[in-house]
């Protein structure tokens, strides 16, 4: 009704006469709703026709009135004494109604407007309410299905509109309808409400879906358990490696000792013949106790040098024994001969 009065006021202010005026020239509506157009003129008329694209859908005769062609199309008369005005209504519009809407009055120029029909689908956030640890990120996915044309998807977090650069959206057409997916990454700081909105130009209010993102304090129990498990495993590995290393060192030391003993035994066995040849030889320098005559003997030794063995006997007075006798002592190491002298033997080997 307001659009009709606005059209009448416009015609009166501009003083239009004779030429019909069609308003509005562009109408965008949702499928299933109605589309309205207004035609106005200042001169008398007797025949008016309305066409949707190339099909005549309704005619009006000033004398007989409206000739109904289809129940989806109707008109309302808002004429006054000065202005003739009619409203043309298309009920329950379809997608294929989109196109030209024309009005012809007698021999006047035909006036044409454009009708655009859109479709609103559904919108939902996948998965419902979410829980995330504090400081972690949550990826929220929104699906807008069955829209025409491609819908505009936006986000609101805790009442604040999210910048378009902060989320990614993509769309695909299926059976002339668009399906869109939008992904938003939210960092868990505080528990907030996350809302996804989808809209087309014909919608006065966007469709929305919302969830609550619950942020839980950081739980360090699992992290501590994991760290302790890894530390214990690493310590066990180091302990096993240490034991293996010690056993290897001990085995190497034992092996080296056995090799050394074997090498020494081999050397002894190799030199055993030469040693055995020296055993049991007569010692020419040996003198029986009591023998007073000097014995000399010379022979070549194994190395080719001359070895001379000789023994000398010296007879010296037994001064010590005399003193001990005076003191009334006797020694097992001081034996006096008949002559009262003590015998000493000195052996020199060159």
Domains and CATH numbers, the chain: 2-118 (2.60.40.10), 122-216 (2.60.40.10), 296-349 (no CATH)
Query: Could you tell me the sign of the dihedral formed by the alpha carbons of 234, 235, 239, 245, in that order?
Result: positive
Q: Supply the pTM of this predicted model.
A: 0.57
pLDDT for position 150: 95
Q: Mean pLDDT in each 10-residue stretch from start to end of the chain (350 residues)?
A: 46 56 96 96 90 93 82 91 92 95 91 96 95 92 96 96 94 93 94 96 95 86 81 88 84 74 74 53 57 49 48 50 47 46 56
pLDDT for position 335: 45
Copy the structure tokens of residue 272. Answer: 């055993």
Do you find a cis peptide bond into 24, omega within 30 degrees of 0? yes
pLDDT for position 242: 86
Can you tell me which residue has the tokens 């528990």? 191
Query: Could you tell me the sign of the dihedral formed by the alpha carbons of 334, 336, 342, 345, in that order?
Result: negative
Q: Which residues of 78-103 are buried (b: 16+ CB within 10 A; e: fewer)?
A: beeeebbbbbbebeebeeebbeebbb
CA distance 216 to 183: 22
pLDDT for position 288: 57
pLDDT for position 312: 47
Query: Could you tell me the sign of the dihedral formed by the alpha carbons of 248, 252, 253, 255, in that order?
Result: positive
CA distance 287 to 125: 123
């Amino acid at each position: 009704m307001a659009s009709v009065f606005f059209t009448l006021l416009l015609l009166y202010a501009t003083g239009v006469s004779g030429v019909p005026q069609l308003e509005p020239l562009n109408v965008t509506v949702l499928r299933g709703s109605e589309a309205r157009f207004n035609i106005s003129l200042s001169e008398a008329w007797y025949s008016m026709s309305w066409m949707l694209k190339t099909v005549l859908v309704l005619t009006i005769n000033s004398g007989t009135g409206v000739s109904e062609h289809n129940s989806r199309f109707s008109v309302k008369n808002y004429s006054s004494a000065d202005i003739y005005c009619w409203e043309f209504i298309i009920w329950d519009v379809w997608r294929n109604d989109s196109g030209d809407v024309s009005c012809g009055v007698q021999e006047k120029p035909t006036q044409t407007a454009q009708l655009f029909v859109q479709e609103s689908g559904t919108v939902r956030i996948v998965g419902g309410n979410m829980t995330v640890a504090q400081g972690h990120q949550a990826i929220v996915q929104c699906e807008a299905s069955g829209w025409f044309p491609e819908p505009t998807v936006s986000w609101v977090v805790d009442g604040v509109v999210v910048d378009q650069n902060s989320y990614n959206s993509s769309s695909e057409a299926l059976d002339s309808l668009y399906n869109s997916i939008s992904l938003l990454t939210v960092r868990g700081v505080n528990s907030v409400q996350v809302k996804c909105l989808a809209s087309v130009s014909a919608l006065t209010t966007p469709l929305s879906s919302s969830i609550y993102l619950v942020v839980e304090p950081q739980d360090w129990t699992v992290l501590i358990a994991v760290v302790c498990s890894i530390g214990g495993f690493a310590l066990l590995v180091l302990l096993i490696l240490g034991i293996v290393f010690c056993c290897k060192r001990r085995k190497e030391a034992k092996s080296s000792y056995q090799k050394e003993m074997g090498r020494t035994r081999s050397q002894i066995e190799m030199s055993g013949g030469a040693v055995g040849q020296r055993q049991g030889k007569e010692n020419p320098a040996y003198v029986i106790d009591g023998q007073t005559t000097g014995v000399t003997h010379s022979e070549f030794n194994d190395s080719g040098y001359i070895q001379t063995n000789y023994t000398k006997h010296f007879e010296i007075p037994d001064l010590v024994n005399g003193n001990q006798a005076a003191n009334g002592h006797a020694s097992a190491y001081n034996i006096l001969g008949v002559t009262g002298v003590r015998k000493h033997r000195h052996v020199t080997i060159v």
